[in-house]
Amino acid sequence: MPKTKKKQKASSSESDSGPEDRNQPPSKKAKESSAPAEGKSASGDSAGGGATTWTLEGLRQVRINEFRGRKMVDIREYYEKGGETLPGKKGISLSIKQWKKLLEVAEEVTRAVEN
């Protein structure tokens, strides 16, 4: 004879109710409110004394950023929201070593593009 599964009846006990008993994750609004403050400090170009942002075309920019104590060359597409220019997902951050290697092969890349 084939085995049949019995349907479990809903328990009247609320002790195993699941997610309602657990702590709710912090709201995203708390994270969003701290994010613009970070963006403002990173975009303070005049505070550094030198130019740290170069515009390639439109909202595509090259910036020097610091991540975990290391300087990075960030080539990224930015977008505007609420009067602020914010980094988008499209882009790449290169370490100084990677940036120098890119500069070494730049002439070869240029020749390959032109041919």
In contact, 66 and 72? CB cutoff 8 Å: yes
Output the CATH code of domain 51-115.
2.30.31.10
3-class DSSP assignment, residue 7: coil
pLDDT given at position 89: 92
| Cα–Cα distance, 80 to 39 (Å, whole number) | 12
pLDDT given at position 56: 93
- Per-domain boundaries in the chain: 51-115
pLDDT given at position 43: 42
pLDDT given at position 49: 45
pLDDT given at position 6: 63
| Cα–Cα distance, 31 to 17 (Å, whole number) | 29
| Cα–Cα distance, 83 to 79 (Å, whole number) | 10
Residuewise pLDDT in 10s, the chain (115 residues):
667 766 655 555 555 555 555 555 555 544 443 333 333 334 444 334 455 899 999 999 999 999 899 999 999 999 999 999 899 999 999 999 999 999 999 999 999 999 8
pLDDT given at position 31: 43
